[in-house]
Amino acid sequence: MGLLRQFFVAVISLSVAGAEEAKSSESCGFAAIFNFGDSNSDTGCMSAAFYPAALPYGQTFFHEAVGRASDGRLIIDFIAKHLGLQYLSAYMDSVGSSYEEGANFAAASSTIRRQNRTFFDGGSPFSLEIQVAQFIQFKTRTARLYNKGQGNSFPRPEDFAKAIYTFDIGQNDIAAALQGMSQENSQAVISDIVDQFSNQLIYLYNEGARTFWIHNTGPIGCLPVAMPIHNAYNYTPVDGYLDQNGCVVYQNDMAKEFNTKLNDTVVKLRALYLDASFVYVDIFSAKYELISNAKKEGFVEASEICCGYHEGGNHFFCGDYNATINGREVHVGSCQDPSSRISWDGVHYTDAANSWIANRIITGSFSDPPLPITRSCLLA
């Protein structure tokens, strides 16, 4: 009996090990991507809705302006490619778009909370609430077309449950909070931002979303336009204002506070909705790692900006034009080699930097749970 028992134990152990191995190699095979966010993942919304983008934006990869705030691709583009899906068309772009494998609702300058600013004031009408409403309309109308036999160029109704829902939003909320509040009420404001984010995630869950890939917000204090080096001549900040990389500490601390609350919220959602996968992606750490090791990774100093002029408090944003500064004419255009820079225009990242970041996060090494994006549908 002892030998027989050992035999059955060995068989069971092998079966369990085989099942675990099969699970570890399982791929989700996502049918589509639905993305929500701001300029970090806008693939043409604001360019289609308002004024069209212009070169040198898009020059490196697309060789034309395609509505992205970069010289080339964004992180969402690299995610789509890695998943074997086409680049996402913006929901607002009615010309030359394809929605068979998903849609992008992200819009530059967008926030989680509603804004009181117009496009002409640097705002966006496409808050996360509106983006989710657009998605629900997209889902409803494409199902209606499909039922009429006219939905061949759209996701099938069953694809919505098999899609991955990606999010990269919150940076503009933090920027607005930094401008308009004191330290005393920062926690209340950030809690409200995260609560509103959570509400929209729940709306999407109720619409059938089951795989959520949620980026936290990046190190806003490391954006070159925020650094004193680009804002004043002969300025020496007080001790503790900047970290070892020249990033503004209090701005990054605000981002970290948001990220901590967002992570806590994702954990709660994971416990509430057991049939859904909620993956929290630490984009802050991925970007900060790149900034901290810029030269080691083949880039110039992280504070250097490729396109635009930002010196001594003079700010002329990326374009192809001449500007007059203290009686001197300067060309406000792209640097010769964008691939050597992390920052494209002082706020957004280059194609090369986005590629570096995407290659790190898709592996799951910056995720909780630590799942590669190809297996992010698996329940923890």
| Structure token pair of residue 174 | 């933090």
d(CA 287, CA 300): 15
Task: Give the relative orientation of helices 249-272 and 186-206 as an angle to the nearest 10 degrees.
Answer: 40
Instruction: Report residue 371 as tokens.
Output: 């799942």
Active site annotation includes 348: yes
3-state secondary structure of 267: helix
310 tagged catalytic: no
Residue 39 a catalytic site member:
yes
Closest-CA residue to 285 (of 357, 354, 337, 180): 357
Q: How far apart are CA 365 and CA 347, in angstroms?
A: 25
Burial class (CB in 10 A: 0-12, 13-18, 19+), 273: middle
Catalytic member of 173, 348, 351, 355? 348
Beta bridge partners of 37: 168
Separation CA 27–CA 339 (nearest Å): 32
- Choose, from 38, 39, 47, 159, the residue flagged as catalytic: 39
Please choose, from the candidates 273, 151, 268, the residue with its C-alpha nearest in 3D space to the C-alpha of residue 205.
273
Distances 247 to 194, 252, 298, 304 between C-alpha atoms, Å: 24, 8, 20, 13
User: DSSP assignment, residue 262?
Assistant: H
- Selecting among 42, 168, 173, 345, the annotated active-site residue is 345
Kind plus residue range of the DSSP H or E element containing 135: helix 128-147
What DSSP element (H or E) covers 360? helix 351-361
Q: Catalytic residues, which ones?
A: 39, 345, 348
